[in-house]
Chains A and B, each alone.
Chain A
C-alpha cells in the first residue's frame, strides 16, 4: 500500500505504541499535522516548544516510556535545544520530531531553515536528517529504540517537507538493525564475583544509588540487594525515592546540599557500590578529596561512565536492574552451597555509627509559631497535603533542594527534577507531561521558584486547555534565591540582580487570568488550611503561592569546589569558619 511520508510518521508512531505527543505546528511540519487528524494519537498543544520537550521529559520521567515531541523547523527546532540538553544530561528517553525545509532548499538559508541535526549533534544521543520517505519508518523506529535502550537519552529525527509529502510503500517491520549500537546489558561473571568479594570484606560499605536505577526501574532489585547484605544507601538528586526514605537503610541524599549523614557516609566509607551514578561534581565536591578511603564497585550501562571521574576497582558494565538480578542469583547460589555469609559484610558498628550521626545532625529550620512562613515549612505542608503517593516536580534553586531534602520519597520516578543541566523553567511543563503520563489517580505537584515559574508559566494555558490537573506551587521568596545565597555567602552579601518583586506579577490575578483557582498563603498560621483547600481540588489545575521568608538559606552546604569534608550545617558555621581563617592569618 502506498502512503505519504507524513502518514508513515503517524503509522510508525502508532506501531511503536505512542499514544501522546506534545507539539506545536508550523510550515515545514504541516503535512504531519494534517495526518495527525486521522491518527490515533493524542496531541497536547503547548505554548512554547521548550514546553513540548520538557513535557516529553516529564512524561518519560514519570512513566519510563519514551516522551515524544513534534515541532516545525527553524526557530521551533532551536527552541528544543534546552530540553534536549536537559534530557541528555539526565538520560531521559525523548523522541523529538522536527520539520525541515524541503530537501532542495537545504543549505540555501531558506526561510526557517536551521541546521538542526548539526545544532543538536552534541546534545542528543543520536539524530538523523531523513533524506527520503522510505527511510522514515526505520529512522523513527531506530530513534525510538536508541532513546529507550542502553543509557537512555534524547534522539531527534529531522524531516524535510518534501520527504513528508512524498509517497512510500508501507509495511510495518518491528526489527531494528543497528550494527554499531549494541548496549551491553548483562554483567561479566568474574566481575560479579569480585564485586561480592569486595562487599563481603568491607566494614564501611555504602551503596551510592544514582538515576540509572530509576531509569532501569530497579527499585525492587535495589531494595532486595541492600537488605540482603545490610548495605546503607544514599540516593542522589536523580535517584530520590528509589529506596524509600523511610527505609532503615536509607541515609538520604549526598552532595552539595545533601543530608549530613549521606555526605559523611561517603567520606568515611571503605567501599562504594555505585549503581547507575556518575560521580557528578555536585555529588563529589572536590574530586580528589571524595570518599578518600573507599574502593569502588561501579555498575553502569554506559561503559564511558566507568573510570571517567573515579577509577573503579570492579567495573561492571550492564543494565543495573539486570546486574542486580545477577548479583542476587549469585548470592542464592552461594547460600545453596552453604557459603551465604561470605558476602555479607559485618556492618553493625558502621550502621550504629551512622544512626547516631543522623540523630545528631538533623535538618534544621526554626519556624516561629506565628507570622513569617519558612520555605521548609511550606514544603512540608505541601507533602502533608498531597501525600506520599503524589509525584513532585521541581524547578531549580533553593526550593528544589528543600523539596529534595524534606519530602520522604518512596519510589523511583516520584521525584522529578532537572539535575544535570539545572534548567530553570523545567517544573511547569515537566509536571504537565508527568500528569499526562500518570493519569487521573496520581496527584502531580509542581514545586517551583518564583524565578523558575516565570520562565515557562505560559504552559498554564496548556494545562487548562487540555484539562491536565496539576497543582502548581510557587515558593515565592522574591529572589533568585539560590544565586542570592551564593552572593550572601561568597560575595560578601553584595546582591547583584537577584531581586524579583514578590507582587510582579500578582500570581492571584494570573491564576484568575488563566481561569484556575489561586491560593496565597504568607503566614504560617494559615498554611495548613490553605494547602488543604488547594489539595482538595483534583479535577483542574490550581495555583498556590507561598510567600516565604526571603532570607532563608539551604543547608547543609558544601561550598563549590570544596571538599565534602567541609560540609556546613548553617550560615553561622560559615561565618565562624571565615572569622577563624582571618584570625589565623592575622597572627
Chain B
C-alpha cells in the first residue's frame, strides 16, 4: 500500500483545546502525522495548521472528512505538489579553526545563515523544502552534527488563491 505524504492546510477557531482535539483524533483513528505546525493568521480569531500526513489517498479523504467534523475546524484544504512548502532547521556542527570555513561555505551554497559561532561549534539556520534541508544535513554530518532541530512544514498554495476563499472560512465570531 502506497503511503504518500500529503500536506493539509487547516483553518481552526482559535479556542482552547483545539490542538488536542485534532491530535487526539489522529491518534485515535490511527492516522500517521509526519509533522504539524500551528500559527496565527491574518484573523485573530483563527489559527492555521499545516499537517503533513503519511497515508494512502483513500484514507486521506477520510482524514479530511474527520477533520471537518470537528466543530472548531473551519476549513481543510489539501496543498498539492506545486505548493510552496518550507521547514526551518537549526544545526549545531563541530567546527574547529581548520573546518569552520568549509562549513560556512556549505551553508552559503544552501543559502543558510550562520547564527551562532562558539569555541568549537557553529550553528546554522536554514529554511527550505525538506529535501534541501536533508541534503545540507548530509553534507554537514562528516564534520560532526551535535544536534539539530527542524520545524514542521508550513505551506501555501501558489498563485492568488488563498485558503479562506469560499464561505466556510468567513469568520464572524470574535472570541
Partners in one complex: yes
A interface, CB within 8 angstroms of B: 117-118, 121-122, 125-126, 129, 131, 146, 177-182, 302-304, 307-308
CB distance from B93 to the nearest CB of A (A): 40
A125–B21 alpha-carbon span in the complex (Å): 11
Minimum Cβ distance to chain A for residue B22 (Å) = 10
- Residues of chain B with a CB closer than 8 A to A117's CB: 17
Interface residues of chain A: helix, strand, loop or mixed (majority)? loop
Asked if A122 and B28 make an inter-chain contact with CB atoms under 8 angstroms apart, the answer reads yes
Closest 4 CB pairs of A and B: A304-B65, A180-B74, A126-B71, A181-B71
Q: Which residue of chain A has the shortest Cβ distance to B12 in the bound complex?
A: A180
B105 at the interface (CB under 8 A from A): no
A118-B20 in contact (CB<8A): yes
CA distance A303 to B28 in the complex (A): 19
Q: With A126-B71, A304-B66 in contact, is A179–B13 under 8 Å at CB?
A: yes
Q: Out of B17, B24, B62, B73, name the residue touching A307 (CB < 8 Å).
A: B62
**Partner among B13, B16, B65 whose Cβ is within 8 Å of the Cβ of A129:** B16
Task: Indicate whether B69 reaches chain A with its CB closer than 8 angstroms.
Answer: yes
Is B129 among interface residues, defined by CB-CB distance under 8 A? no
CB-nearest residue of chain B relative to A303? Answer: B65
How many A-B residue contacts, CB cutoff 8 Å? 49
A303 to B24, CA, bound (A): 20
Question: How many of chain B's residues touch chain A, expressed as a range?
Answer: 20 to 34
What are some 22 contacts across the A-B interface (CB < 8 A)? Answer: A117-B17, A121-B20, A122-B28, A131-B16, A146-B71, A178-B71, A179-B13, A179-B74, A179-B168, A179-B169, A179-B171, A180-B12, A180-B13, A180-B73, A180-B168, A181-B71, A303-B68, A304-B62, A304-B66, A307-B58, A307-B61, A307-B62
CB closest residue in chain B, given A146: B71
| Chain B neighbourhood of A308, CB < 8 A | 62
Residues of chain B lying within 8 A (CB to CB) of residue A302: 69
* B156 CB → nearest A CB, Å: 21
In the complex, residue of chain B having the shortest beta-carbon distance to the beta carbon of A143? B71
Q: B residues within 8 Å of A by Cβ? A: 12-13, 16-17, 20-21, 24-25, 28, 58, 61-62, 65-66, 68-74, 168-173
Name the A residues within 8 Å of B13 (CB-CB).
Answer: 179-180
Residues of B within 8 A of A303 (CB): 65, 68
Known: A126-B71, A129-B16. A182 touches B168 (CB 8 A): yes
Q: Shortest CB–CB separation between residue A288 and chain B, in angstroms?
A: 14
A121 nearest in chain B by CB position: B24
- Hey, which chain B residues are within 8 Å of A182, CB to CB? 168
Cα–Cα distance between A117 and B17 once the two chains are bound (Å): 9
CB-based contact A177/B173 at 8 Å: yes
Alpha-carbon distance A181/B12, docked complex (angstroms): 11
The 8 Å CB contact of A122, one of B24, B58, B62, B171, is B24
| Assembly CA distance A121 to B29 (angstroms) | 13
Query: Which residues from chain A contact B16 at a C-beta distance below 8 Å?
Result: 129, 131
Whether A180 lies near B70 (C-beta < 8 A) is yes
- Chain B neighbourhood of A121, CB < 8 A: 17, 20-21, 24
List the A side residues contacting B71 at CB < 8 Å. 125-126, 146, 178, 180-181
B24, B58, B65, B169: most-surrounded residue (chain A CB, <10 A): B65
Least distance between A313 CB and chain B CB atoms (Å):
15
Q: Is the CB of A177 within 8 A of B74?
A: no
Give complex CA distance A237, B60 in Å: 30
Known: A121-B20, A308-B62. A179 touches B173 (CB 8 A): yes
Chain A residue with Cβ nearest B17: A117
Q: Which residues on the A side are within 8 Å of B17 (C-beta)? A: 117-118, 121, 129
